[in-house]
Structure 1
Amino acid sequence: MKRIGKISPRTSNQIQSSRIGIGFECLDRKMWDDVDEVYDYAVATGAKYARVQTGWSRTELVRGQYDFTWLDRTVDKLLAGSIQPWLNLGYGNMLYTDAPAPDACGWVPLYTEEARTGWRNYIAALVRHFRDRVSLYEVWNEPYSKGFWLPGPPSQSEYVELVKLTAEVIRGILPEAKIIGGNTGTELWFAPCIEEYMKLGLGRYLDVYSYHRYRVMPEIETPEWINFYRAIFKKYGADHLELWQGEAGFPSVTSETEALAGVPMNEEIQARLLLRSLLTDLYLENDYTSYFTISDFKYYYKNGFRNKPNYFGLLTTDTPPRPKKSYDAFRHICTLFDSSTRRDKTTLATMETCNALAEKDRYSFHEKITSSNVVAFERNGRPLIAWWQKVSALKDSSPYPMNLLVWSPDKAFQNPVVIDPLTGEVFEYDFIYEKPDYRVKILDAPLKNYPMLLADREAVLNCISVEE
């Protein structure tokens, strides 16, 4: 092994397109500081999309008067950095609902004609205001949740009704708009909810179905869920729907609030899991994947103020913000997995024990293979391989030495390099190249509990800086 350089991160302005985005949620409730440094850091990630909540309560403080100044700032600064916002429409408004707190989080404007009219008027004003800048609109957030659908309980038919009336307003002003909805998860109890949505015709009003995933091991059942989503869409005549992972993230500190509360976390673990989450979505060919979220929250605002911080951000809420290890890991994946990198199902890769002649080692190593992902992509006409062990990232990440074997019928390695996307380091390893079979064997490669990457040096030249 010889270190030869590092990943040279590219900005969102330098990346033409990709399937990777970043969350910009909760500015509607001012849960983190809307400072210029956050936008500078966001553009430096290389992300191409950002999910932004629109904040009806923050925008309409007097009936019929809409102040989009705060949202203009966010949309314009993101667009200036070549990041396309997609707008999540919500939540309620005290002027039209019985919400007890100004944020009106979760209070659905569906239960009186006055609330419906107020909502329609707000959506119409918002779409007219942003029609030349934004074409992606998501209806509500996590409508299955008792905390985000009030006064509750959540109802599939009522959510479909909300999507229908909202989509009609949007398309009446912006026919080319792309409508996003769903926001269900990847636990078994979501299955009947999703099927009921499809039975009720939700797919007729959407272009994109978005799901959320919060798991300490992001690989668990995700392939099965993606297959389920796509199959259920087809079953009900909605196979036109794109599938987006709209929220998935991990705290960097053991949290007391919301998702993954109580899990023993730190910044190193957050970064490892971020890499696993993004690579899982990319190799399963989601149409889009987003990391939740750009910034930690100073406190939590959900139907009133809770003085509890939240640590899912790539950045801290320090002044100025401090990037975490997860920030660099996210930048590295955005740089390497733009639209030039695609899943390659004709290239095969596998692992073998370094002591391949010892029968005991060879067969005991099968356990490590079955608990690992080894996935082939291609970049610029050459293979790019990702591999990692699907074991707890809460434990030490000491590497296990193995040999990595790759075969491709038409994509040869000429100068293979191994990349650590956590640290950004690029290495040369000893390898054996069997030219007639287009097979390469990387010797003593590290198997870790987060992804490592093998690529041809020529394929990633615009992504790495080599120390000559």
Structure 2
Amino acid sequence: MKRNQAWQSFLLTVGCAIGLLGLNGHCSAVEPGAGYTLLGKIKPRHARDIESSNWAVGAETMGRDYTLYANWRNYLGPLGAKRARIQSGWAKTESEKGKYDWAWLDAIIPDMAAQGVEPWVCICYGNPIYEGGGGTGLSGGLPTSPEALAAWDTYVGVLVDRYKQHVKLWEIWNEPTARNNGSQLYAEFAARTAQVVRDHQPEARFMYAAGGSFDNKFVGEMLAWLRDNDKLSLCNQIVYHPYSYNPDDSYEKVAELREIVASFSPNIIIRQNENGVPSRGGSFGALSKYDWTELRQAKWATRRLLGDLGRDIPSSYFSICDMAYLVPKGQRRDSDWRQDRSELEILINSKGLLEIFPDRTIHHAKQSYHAVQHITAVFDNTVQRVKDFEATLNGGSEDSKYSIFGYRSTKGGQLITLWRSSNRPGERPEFEGLELTVAKGSFEDPIWIDLVSGEVYDIDDATWKSQGEGCVFQRLPVYDAVVVLAERSAIGDLLPSD
């Protein structure tokens, strides 16, 4: 039975009349069909040419040499992301007590800033040259001994003094454990570290971790400790890592996180600051148990980033480059990067936008790199979400879910993002021809954009019409990646020249 259902910028289950247009999970999207004329592709924008936006990209693991900045720096600015996340690498910088080698970070942070990309630094991990100094990787633990904590304080102060010209936002540790009263131990450690940073940089702002990846209970306990000890002013953002095979499955938990944070302070925001998927099956790291391809990764990236934008969540893709992890032979776990190399093997974490050779040089830019370029080019600070956006979709099948959000551009005209969210990318890749009714806000010259391919299509007048204060689109092509309806003027000079 067909039905109508209103949307207000959130997921819903609706019917859909399926019109198969011949797309599969291992190839590029085909043309959207009759009534759509290809105009060309979106022109990417360099980060220097974008004032600001919602977008960041991960530049993690350089502190353990799993990826090398010199190999991919030329891809950073052209990606169009305005921020990048760096891990500080205490053990790499201080390999001898009291002596710091900053050469590796000196080659990264100023260069990023010169490319129009603002780095933020996640201050981590531990340093085993100190007894009780913690480990060099994810599971290594926080510094705990008086000597190690004093050395940490000194290191943090010197780090901030050296890079505060370029770095205003500091993240304190990555994915701390919740075990053994971990939320309170982390809260104490993070507040201590933030105070050291603020003593050296009064205008600094701070990110605190939502536990080991994404733990709402951890966040509530941590914020309670900060409140009870009058330390909430040292926390500006809570950052979480919502790893899920279907990116749209995580938002109920994200809404819970936002409620928890708001119950402690209206001034603390949430940020998605690490999330990505592999581009091939069997990859090292999270979410490896699926037949990933470059196309499926690109689809996933469009849905995660635009799903975040539609909920006003600052967002980052993890990561710009594949990472060559050194792990104990026969074990799929991280190691101390200083361990004897004869005991280690290389496993590639293929979540990057750039594919690498085992020697960490770049093989090629993946489909996901270009998809993110299309997103950063279109959705900058001139595009603002319409919070009371309403639309109605006509369809038939009861097992489909969609996400839809409305935006308005300061250049004039509106944009609408739409995708099928009920399946993992690639599980159900076909296009569907749907009817979309927008309650308020019509178009004069609409275009249709596939964010994965970047292809832009003119929409024939016969397939849409104005209706009251809004409009109706017939046979609108929708699939398992983000498509955009946009007023031509809202895209402006990103369109190909005639």
TM-score where L is the length of structure 1: 0.89
In the other structure, the counterpart of 1:446 is 477
Map Cα deviations across residues 388-416 of structure 1 (whole Å, 9 max, x no partner). 111221324220111222232xx441100
8 Å Cα contact 1:250/1:270 also seen in 2:
yes
8 Å Cα contact 1:93/1:104 also seen in 2:
no
Alignment of 1:217 onto 2:242: no
In percent, how many aligned pairs have the same letter?
28
* Residue pairs, 1:202-351, within 5 angstroms: 203-222=232-251, 224-236=252-264, 238-286=265-313, 288-300=314-326, 302-304=334-336, 305-318=344-357, 319-351=361-393
Label 1:16 to 1:166 Cα distance change in 2 as closer, same or farther (>3 A).
same
* Residue pairs, 1:44-83, within 5 angstroms: 44-83=78-117
In the other structure, the counterpart of 1:360 is none
8 Å Cα contact 2:85/2:122 also seen in 1:
yes
8 Å Cα contact 1:429/1:442 also seen in 2:
no
Alignment of 1:138 onto 2:149: no
Q: What amino acid sits opposite 1:206 in the alignment?
A: C
* Residue pairs, 1:192-203, within 5 angstroms: 192-201=217-226, 203=232
8 Å Cα contact 2:198/2:204 also seen in 1:
yes
8 Å Cα contact 2:210/2:218 also seen in 1:
no
Mean Cα deviation higher: 156-165 or 312-321: 312-321
SS of residue in 1 equivalent to 2:369: helix
Q: 1:135 offset after TM fit, Å?
A: 1.2
Q: What amino acid sits opposite 1:227 in the alignment?
A: A
In the other structure, the counterpart of 1:418 is 448
For the residues of structure 2 that align with 1:334 and 1:374, how far apart are their CA atoms? 19
* Residue pairs, 1:95-110, within 5 angstroms: 95-97=129-131, 103=136, 105-110=138-143
SS of residue in 1 equivalent to 2:125: coil
CA RMSD of aligned residues (A): 2.1
For the residues of structure 1 that align with 2:321 and 2:445, how far apart are their CA atoms? 38
SS of residue in 2 equivalent to 1:322: strand
Label 1:191 to 1:436 Cα distance change in 2 as closer, same or farther (>3 A).
closer
Q: What amino acid sits opposite 2:371 in the alignment?
A: A
For the residues of structure 2 that align with 1:312 and 1:433, how far apart are their CA atoms? 39
8 Å Cα contact 2:242/2:250 also seen in 1:
no
SS of residue in 1 equivalent to 2:485: strand
Q: What amino acid sits opposite 1:336 in the alignment?
A: V
* Residue pairs, 1:396-407, within 5 angstroms: 396-407=428-439
SS of residue in 2 equivalent to 1:210: strand
The number of residue pairs the alignment matches comes to 440
8 Å Cα contact 2:283/2:350 also seen in 1:
no
SS of residue in 2 equivalent to 1:308: strand
For the residues of structure 2 that align with 1:100 and 1:283, how far apart are their CA atoms? 39
For the residues of structure 2 that align with 1:262 and 1:154, how far apart are their CA atoms? 31
Alignment of 1:389 onto 2:417: no
8 Å Cα contact 1:100/1:303 also seen in 2:
no
Alignment of 1:378 onto 2:408: yes
SS of residue in 1 equivalent to 2:282: coil
Q: 1:176 offset after TM fit, Å?
A: 0.2
TM-score where L is the length of structure 2: 0.84
For the residues of structure 2 that align with 1:90 and 1:235, how far apart are their CA atoms? 28
Map Cα deviations across residues 91-143 of structure 1 (whole Å, 9 max, x no partner). 01121135797x45544453211011110010011001112121111110000
Label 1:399 to 1:192 Cα distance change in 2 as closer, same or farther (>3 A).
same
* Residue pairs, 1:174-193, within 5 angstroms: 174-184=201-211, 190-193=215-218
* Residue pairs, 1:116-195, within 5 angstroms: 116-144=149-177, 153=180, 155-184=182-211, 190-195=215-220
Mean Cα deviation higher: 2-11 or 197-206: 197-206
Map Cα deviations across residues 38-78 of structure 1 (whole Å, 9 max, x no partner). 11211111100000001000001121111111011111121
For the residues of structure 2 that align with 1:341 and 1:300, how far apart are their CA atoms? 42
For the residues of structure 1 that align with 2:102 and 2:477, how far apart are their CA atoms? 51
8 Å Cα contact 1:97/1:109 also seen in 2:
no
SS of residue in 2 equivalent to 1:417: strand
8 Å Cα contact 2:138/2:175 also seen in 1:
no
8 Å Cα contact 1:250/1:312 also seen in 2:
yes
SS of residue in 1 equivalent to 2:157: helix
Compare relative contact order (CA 8 Å, sep 6+) and give the higher one, 1 or 2: 2
Q: 1:175 offset after TM fit, Å?
A: 0.6
For the residues of structure 1 that align with 2:300 and 2:40, how far apart are their CA atoms? 24
SS of residue in 1 equivalent to 2:278: coil
Alignment of 1:84 onto 2:113: no
Q: 1:154 offset after TM fit, Å?
A: 6.3
For the residues of structure 1 that align with 2:283 and 2:362, how far apart are their CA atoms? 24
SS of residue in 1 equivalent to 2:260: helix
Q: What amino acid sits opposite 1:235 in the alignment?
A: S
Q: What amino acid sits opposite 1:218 in the alignment?
A: P
For the residues of structure 1 that align with 2:225 and 2:183, how far apart are their CA atoms? 8
Q: What amino acid sits opposite 1:393 in the alignment?
A: P
Q: Extract structure 1 runs of 4+ deviating beyond 3 A.
A: 97-101, 103-110, 183-187, 318-321, 365-368, 431-436
Q: 1:255 offset after TM fit, Å?
A: 3.0
- Listed as ranges, the gaps of 5+ residues in structure 1 are 146-151, 354-363
- Listed as ranges, the gaps of 5+ residues in structure 2 are 1-35, 328-333, 337-343
For the residues of structure 2 that align with 1:177 and 1:154, how far apart are their CA atoms? 28
For the residues of structure 2 that align with 1:6 and 1:377, how far apart are their CA atoms? 21
8 Å Cα contact 2:416/2:486 also seen in 1:
yes
Map Cα deviations across residues 334-371 of structure 1 (whole Å, 9 max, x no partner). 11111111111233223224xxxxxxxxxx24553xx1
Label 1:186 to 1:116 Cα distance change in 2 as closer, same or farther (>3 A).
closer
SS of residue in 2 equivalent to 1:465: coil
SS of residue in 2 equivalent to 1:372: strand
Label 1:154 to 1:332 Cα distance change in 2 as closer, same or farther (>3 A).
farther
Q: 1:455 offset after TM fit, Å?
A: 0.2
